[in-house]
Amino acid sequence: MKDTYRKIHCYHNRAKYRISKLIPEQHRPIVQYSYYCGPEIIIVPEPPVIIDPEIPLVPTDDPCDTSLSRNTIFDKTFPYITTPPSLIVDDWKYFFTNSDEANCPITSCSITASGCSSSYMSTHLSITGTPPTQLLAVTNIVTGYTDEICLKCTNDKQTISYDNFRVTQAANSCLNSLIAKTTKPLDKSISYGQNTVLLGTWFYFMDNTDTANCPIVTCNVLQFGCFVAYNGNRITVTGTPPTSISAIANMQAGYSEMVCIQCENTAGARLSFDKFTVTQ
């Protein structure tokens, strides 16, 4: 019987090769539906020819080698947000274009420090999603942050990076909501006779520019100088929340106390009014 020949293609590690030698068709197995391509056995939909691993393979162009390119993008800035405590900055499509997404899909992304060679050590940014191709940013850091990273993505044939991408989360505006009174609060002089006298609530001593979002949650009495806890018992903080300042007024010998009044808002920002004097 006269030999017939058939030119075939072989796929190995996703790269396409053309066999440089024609294979006699009578070498085709009758039942076997796989063939060797280098060290691997590849399943094919029709009875293939047996390929000698020694036959040289000639690689052809693979579109996945060059399907990824960089986009022109802008850095990202987010406000302070507690609910949810993180959000998606964007996925890989913000950073890159894939000219053959159907055949060369992005399989994963990762982040490194700016420069693309050393590990990213912060916890502010991370990669999420299935597959992991979305950049996630934490948004509940009270003091805010600015991180500069290198984002790398791959389609398993080509790896591409975008360096010096900057993500900024603004600080909580409540950090600056407490301000001193434009007119200094006056010292208090109280008369003998009552057990306690209300000297004033927190807003006697300071102002809050955003009471709706940054309410005062507590006040404390400190020794004047505002570094050491108050060691007396004549001036106290009362109320719910504890933001009212009271003093006892039943000391027959009278007294004079100089203290520091310190209040704190929901962001943990504190403001002090020092050398406040109470005389009974």
pLDDT of residue 10: 43
pLDDT of residue 54: 54
Domain count, the chain: 3
Q: 249 and 159, same structural domain? A: no
Q: 167 and 90, same structural domain? A: yes
Q: 97 and 39, same structural domain? A: no
Domain containing residue 28: 5-60
Rounded-to-integer distance, Cα 278 and Cα 280, Å:
7
Q: 113 and 182, same structural domain? A: no
Rounded-to-integer distance, Cα 187 and Cα 258, Å:
9
Q: 186 and 228, same structural domain? A: yes
Q: 270 and 193, same structural domain? A: yes
Q: 181 and 157, same structural domain? A: no
Q: 146 and 77, same structural domain? A: yes
Contacts of 227 (CB under 8 A, 6+ apart): none
For residue 203, the domain's CATH number is 2.60.40.10
Q: 82 and 161, same structural domain? A: yes
pLDDT of residue 82: 87
| Residue entry with tokens 């060679």 | 117
Specify whether the CB–CB gap between 168 and 144 falls below 8 A. Answer: yes
Per-residue pLDDT of the chain (280 residues; tens, 9 = 90+): 333 333 344 444 333 433 333 344 444 443 333 333 444 444 444 444 445 555 555 555 788 999 999 999 999 999 999 888 999 999 999 999 999 999 999 999 999 999 999 999 999 999 999 999 999 999 999 999 999 999 999 999 999 999 999 999 999 999 999 999 999 999 999 999 888 999 999 999 999 999 999 999 999 999 999 999 999 999 999 999 999 999 999 999 999 999 999 999 999 999 999 999 999 9
Specify whether the CB–CB gap between 143 and 235 falls below 8 A. Answer: no
Helix/strand/coil (H, E, C) string of the chain?
CCCCEECCEEEECCEEEEECCCEEHHHCCCCCCEEEECCEEEECCCCCCCCCCCCCEEECCCHHHCCEEECCCCCEEECCCCCCCEEEEEEHHHHEEECCCCCCCCCEEEEEECCCCCECCCCCEEEECCCCCEEEEECCCCCCEEEEEEEEEECCCCEEEEEEEEEEECCCHHHHCEEECCCCCCCEECCCCCCEEEEEEHHHCEEECCCCCCCEEEEEEEECCCCCECCCCCEEEECCCCCEEEEECCCCCCCEEEEEEEEEECCCCEEEEEEEEEEC
Rounded-to-integer distance, Cα 92 and Cα 89, Å:
10
203 SS3 class: helix
pLDDT of residue 62: 82
Closest CA to 149 of 189, 188, 119: 119
Q: How far apart are the first and last CA of the chain?
A: 125
Q: 77 and 167, same structural domain? A: yes
Residue 255 phi/psi, 5-degree rounding, is -165, 170
Residue ending a domain, among 171, 194, 218, is 171
Q: 198 and 269, same structural domain? A: yes
Q: 232 and 156, same structural domain? A: no
pLDDT of residue 201: 95
The pTM for the full model equals 0.65
The structure tokens listed for 50 are 């047996």
User: Dihedral angle at the C-alpha atoms of 26, 32, 38, 44, nearest 10 degrees?
Assistant: 100
